[in-house]
Chains A and B, each alone.
Chain A
């Protein structure tokens, strides 16, 4: 397939592909540095073919063009993506990066799985919506002035990491390298308020969990049987003090 597409570099620079093929080839180009390099090089050859048929244009063309550009605003240049200047909140910054990477990973994985298993499109759409909503929540938390990052290792391996904003009473929790659980078990996150544990939801490896609680003292993680969460029954695997 790809080698077939690679063989189209010549036809592409000669504008000899149909519209559909052109679109397909251009998306292929984005994935192949080698094909891109060849296209860049062959495009200069095609330019020679063009220059070889140079011909004096009609008198009026220059005036018409110069008159028109007088009324045409130029496009804005392409600038590199804004990279935030490093500041004192290094931990939050790196958590933001981590969270973003996680989200991309989650989105990509969701797409692959959906295609692979033939999951209904509607399901995928709702999944993507969830990811987008989560992404916005994550962005709000990590961008907060008072965002703080904390992390603790789990007894059984892996890490529990959270970015917390006391001001907003919000937190993002991420589990990394968590040990796989037996069927019917989940990692459960709890907001610790005084001596109470309020269920915040299931923590899935690699997916950020957003939680809100204005007076949270800590974030706890336990292993629980799958089902509605009311109060922790398992041992505390990790505890973060806010």
Chain B
């Protein structure tokens, strides 16, 4: 991992990702407002605070939590499920589940956002798998989908920093790592399916997923 700002005085980093549209976005919010933009986007402290209130049955806090997390939940679910009506239904279930189980949220096991999005992703994936269990899932190779996962995302100002950041971080991965992670996370495929689709040994695929995530973590942490 290269340290930030080593070769360049400007906020732009010297790498291929910096030429993408998303990165130009990043440039527009970097500089003096950089940290602020990040805080607004993620607001981890905020969200954990809200969760504590929601856990006590505070419906207004839940509404505020919805405003922050609703788009993220819906985005994850729709990315996996595609179908808008189904995505809305599953998102609704997830958000009600967040309300119901909030008193059981354990901050020591991760952030509120991680907890909520884990729930959202798993629900979406479970839905895909139960529905498609009888279909030939081999047909559902999502290469055309996974190659450009950001194209159809609504241009939302409040999430653009996060989006650019993730986009850049994914571009830091090797092609095969990125492919494995995107097929699993955005495509909802199991690692066995990914291995079959890519004609790659199972062990290789699980290693790509783990190594890729670790590298993403390093890149994302470096960006902070």
Contact residues of A with B, CB < 8 Å? 7-11, 13-19, 40-58, 60-62, 64-66, 68-70, 72-78
CB atoms of B95 and A8 under 8 A apart: no
Indicate whether B159 reaches chain A with its CB closer than 8 angstroms.
yes
Kindly provide the distance from the CB of A102 to the nearest chain B CB, expressed in whole angstroms.
Answer: 31
Q: Cβ of B206 < 8 Å from any Cβ of A? A: yes
Bound: A14/B214 CA distance, A:
13
Q: Is the beta-carbon distance between B190 and A18 smaller than 8 angstroms?
A: yes
User: Closest CB-CB distance, B117 to chain A, in whole Å?
Assistant: 4
A14 and B169 in contact, given A40-B109, A55-B75, A69-B96 (Cβ under 8 angstroms): no
In angstroms, Cα B41 to Cα A103, docked, is 52
Whether A42 pairs with B113 at a CB distance below 8 angstroms is no
Q: Is A50 a contact of B70 with CB atoms below 8 Å?
A: no
Q: List 11 A-B contacts (CB under 8 A).
A: A15-B122, A40-B109, A42-B214, A45-B216, A49-B181, A49-B186, A54-B159, A54-B163, A57-B88, A61-B95, A75-B101
Residue with the greatest number of chain B CB neighbours at <10 A, chosen from A45, A50, A76: A50
A51/B213 in contact, CB under 8 A: no
The answer on a CB contact under 8 Å between B113 and A51 is yes
Q: Is the CB of B71 within 8 A of A16?
A: no
Report if A15-B121 is in contact (Cβ < 8 Å); known contacts: A47-B113, A53-B153, A57-B70. Answer: yes
Contact, CB under 8 Å: A17 / B154: no
Say yes or no: A10-B206 contact (C-beta < 8 A), given A61-B70, A62-B66: yes
Dominant SS at the B interface?
helix
Decide if B109 touches A53 in the complex (CB within 8 Å): no
| Inter-chain contact A65/B92, CB cutoff 8 Å | yes
Nearest CB in chain A to that of B110: its residue: A40
Residues of the B chain whose Cβ atoms lie less than 8 Å from the Cβ of A74: 55, 57, 99-103
CB B41 to nearest CB in A, in angstroms, measures 8
Contacts of B207 in A (CB 8 A): 7, 10
How far is B194's CA from A11's CA once the two chains are assembled, in angstroms? 11
Asked whether any CB of chain A lies closer than 8 Å to the CB of B12, the reply is: no
**Chain B interface (Cβ within 8 Å of chain A)?**
41-42, 55, 57, 59, 62-63, 66, 70-76, 78-79, 84, 88, 91-92, 95-96, 99-104, 106, 109-111, 113-114, 117-118, 120-122, 125, 129, 149-150, 153-154, 156, 159, 162-163, 165-167, 169, 181, 184-186, 188-192, 194, 203, 205-214, 216-217, 220
Contact A47 B117 (CB under 8 A): yes
A-B CB proximity, top 6 nearest:
A10-B210, A52-B166, A10-B209, A57-B74, A16-B184, A55-B75
Are B166's CB and A51's CB within 8 A?
A: yes
Contacting pair B76 A53 (CB below 8 A)? yes
Complexed CA–CA distance, A54 and B171 (Å): 19
Pick the contact of A62 from B57, B70, B99, B104 — CB < 8 Å? B70
Are B150's CB and A55's CB within 8 A? Answer: no
In the complex the two chains form, what is the Cα distance from A52 to B167 in whole Å? Answer: 8
Q: Write out the residue numbers on chain B whose beta carbons fall within 8 Å of the beta carbon of A57.
A: 70-71, 73-74, 88, 91
How many angstroms from the CA of A72 to the CA of B63 in the assembled complex? 15
**Distance, CA A162 to CA B223, complexed state (A):** 64
In the docked arrangement, what's the CA distance between A97 and B52, Å? 35
Q: Find out whether the CB atom of A45 lies under 8 angstroms from the CB atom of B162.
A: no
